[in-house]
Chains A and B, each alone.
Chain A
Amino acid sequence: MKLVLSGNEAAAYGAMLARAEVISAYPITPQTKIVEKIADLIADGRFKTEFIKVESEHSAMAACISASLVGARTFTATSSQGLLLMHEMLHWASGSRTPVVMVNINRAVAPPWSVWADQTDSIAQRDTGWIQYYCESCQEVVDTIMQAYRVCEDPRVLLPAMLSEDAFFLSHTSEIVDLPPQEELDAFLGTYEPDVRLDIDNPRSFGSLSMPHQWYPEFRYKIQEGMEHAVEAIERVDREYGSLFGRSYGGLLDLYRCEDADTVIVAAGSMCSTIRAAIEELRSEGVKVGMARIRVFRPFPTEAFRALAKDVRSLVVLDRSFSMGSEGAFFSEVKAALYPLSDRPDVRGFAVGIGGRDITIETIRSIITDSLRPDTGITAQKWVGLRRCEE
């Protein structure tokens, strides 16, 4: 079935098609349409689920974790300040090994108030033990929700996942979205059946105290082990989804025209569509440029970057976020991934599109021009388009 859906509506349909059994969510701009659409689908009798309209995002995540421990498939959605309020519970979800799936609308962090696209909110959650996907299209949102449940509920993974989509550029942009038949998705997903759950017939305590000399480090390492299994599971599930439904997204790192590229742009989210258009222009002018889209940031696609690095001269990393006092996380982590290689490409970083500032084809072209200048000695990350006084 094909429908014209915004990124937000795609998320709501994704939850319905995945048959999420408990949804617990709180409204925040620009995510509101997700909770509204879910409420509509329930009100029209199309979606049978328990929707808890909680009093905060913190409670939203707490309720999802508990519901998941009972054995329910759970879903939530948030953005920006809401995600930041959830931070404590994000750790709780991964520590509890609950496969909660969440859609996050990437929105700038206040103050000053801003509701526009910026990835600081989700990047700031990178150490919480969550799998992180970044989507480029409304279609990818639906498809990735399906894939995420399969990956997260894999007994060797058992971790939560957040899917991010850029505020407005994706959340409020409508596209034709193909929704696969429900029975085929049911067969693909199966049901969530955890080994142990909160169950009166098998009374267990979940999450009890562990002393330093007992098992705390071991349980933390188990989360890392789950992440390592997730690398394989994400690739495998993406391929299987592709063979069933005709769409796959390159697993962790989505490569575009990289085969003969000298320069590869590294980015995530909605700006990647603009980058694709810029690449077409540059290619027609003879510039050999490609793109490596970070589709999954956690687990980090370390091996995929190392494989890519063998054949390219330079990587141009674009961050729509910034770690104050350091640099953008993508820039740091790409460099860290390549560090063990003896022959490394030149890596340059640009902070771009902060707080929803528009990224045009021209923006991308100027970044490429800038980075193609021979041996400029640039190592620090450059903020693109700051409105400084003219020199």
Chain B
Amino acid sequence: MKKTIPDIELMERGHQACLGCGAAHAMRYLLKGLGPKTIAAIPACCWAVIPGVYPYSCMDVPLQYVAFETTGASISGIEAALRAKGKKEGTTVVGWAGDGGTLDIGIQALSGAVERGHDVKYVCYDNEAYMNTGIQRSSATPFGAWTTTTPVGTTKAWKLSPKKNIVEIMVAHDIPYACTASVAYPEDLIKKAQKMKDITGPCFMHIYAPCPTGWKYPPEKTIELARLATDTCIFPLYEVTNGKYRITKRIKDEKKKDVLDYLRMQGRFKSLDEGAIQSIRDHVDFEWARLLRKEECFGEEQ
């Protein structure tokens, strides 16, 4: 059997994730990339439950469960203590949080940690809402999505504001490395994780992790949907190394899929009208064009 990703499994069987959980893929791949010499901190999120109840855990790396808004501060503390103890060399400290724990309640601690320049890796697995509490909107929920707090109703009260761009916020902190990754492209994700491990200093990874339960699609479609998000340019894969942009999954114009293919697969977008769909299409095209320009102007050859 052909294996295009490392054999090592640091996330064990028996975890409690839902069927087809993209966040489970994300953790499996990340740990393959970071390896066993990793210490993780996980706040309130689906992954506070997935490892299993006490005294059991699916994690084969040390893990501290931390308070919702403290991931950035907690990994700062772990890193500082490892340095104080002379144990930092060769150990990777990673914060692993959901979109709510990263883009909303945890953004202050994250900003503080990367600004101070700790040698920490922060990974946000993004399922575009508060999924562990039952699908409430976060600032990572895209325009047009149904959630339990944007319930559409008769007034088309879907999420009205656009998704916050966390990678650009991280780039604005002038950190050595920030990137996006997707569970549909594990080789790319793992390569980026390995890159982060080798960089000294704060790094950020934003993983696209579809949620069948919250997005209302059948669990077997997780990878297909994630692939489509990248192929439609809704979630482009790129990395920013010392301010230099590089798109890691190039989508040629003729291969670019229409956003409708992506939207139609999910119950959370089923109420959208033509106008809303067109505005999503326009927004995606604008953002993709902007990313291409960034790469052109601030690419690695510049």
What residues make up the interface of A, taking CB atoms closer than 8 Å to B? Answer: 21-22, 24, 49-50, 52-56, 58-60, 62-72, 74, 88-89, 92, 198-200, 202-211, 214-215
Contact = CB atoms under 8 A, between A and B. Distances in A.
Contact of A21 (B38, B65, B81): B81
Contact of A63 (B51, B61, B73, B115): B73
A59 B54 contact: no
Interface majority SS on B: helix, strand, loop or mixed?
A: mixed
A69 B62 CA distance: 11
B72 interface: yes
Given A65-B74, A71-B81, A72-B85, A209 B62 contact: no
B78 interface: yes
Contacts of A22: 77, 80-81, 84
Contact of B67 (A70, A88, A202, A210): A88
B70 interface: yes
A206 B60 CA distance: 13
Interface residues on B, range: 35 or more
Contact of B108 (A56, A72, A215): A56
Contact of B77 (A65, A203, A209): A65
B39 interface: yes
B65 A58 contact: no
A21 B55 CA distance: 30
4 closest A-B pairs (Cβ-Cβ)?
A: A63-B77, A66-B77, A55-B112, A59-B73
29 contacts: A22-B80, A24-B73, A24-B76, A50-B83, A52-B77, A54-B116, A55-B109, A59-B109, A62-B67, A62-B73, A62-B77, A66-B66, A66-B73, A66-B76, A66-B81, A68-B81, A69-B81, A70-B77, A71-B81, A72-B85, A92-B66, A198-B39, A198-B64, A204-B62, A206-B62, A206-B65, A208-B52, A208-B65, A209-B53
B81 A50 contact: yes
A369 B41 CA distance: 58
B29 to A, nearest CB: 19
B62 A200 contact: yes
A198 B81 CA distance: 10
Contacts of A200: 36-39, 61-62, 91
Interface string B240-253: 00000000000000
Contacts, number: 156
B109 A202 contact: no
B64 A69 contact: yes
B112 A54 contact: yes
Contacts of A21: 81, 84-85
Contacts of A74: 77, 81
Nearest to A210: B54
B291 interface: no
B150 interface: no
B229 interface: no
A236 B11 CA distance: 46
A391 to B, nearest CB: 51
Interface string B42-72: 0000001101111111011111111101101
B170 to A, nearest CB: 15
Contacts of B52: 208-209
Contact of B63 (A56, A60, A206, A211): A206
Given A66-B66, A209-B49, 7 more contacts: A59-B76, A67-B77, A200-B62, A204-B57, A205-B51, A207-B64, A209-B52
B5 interface: no
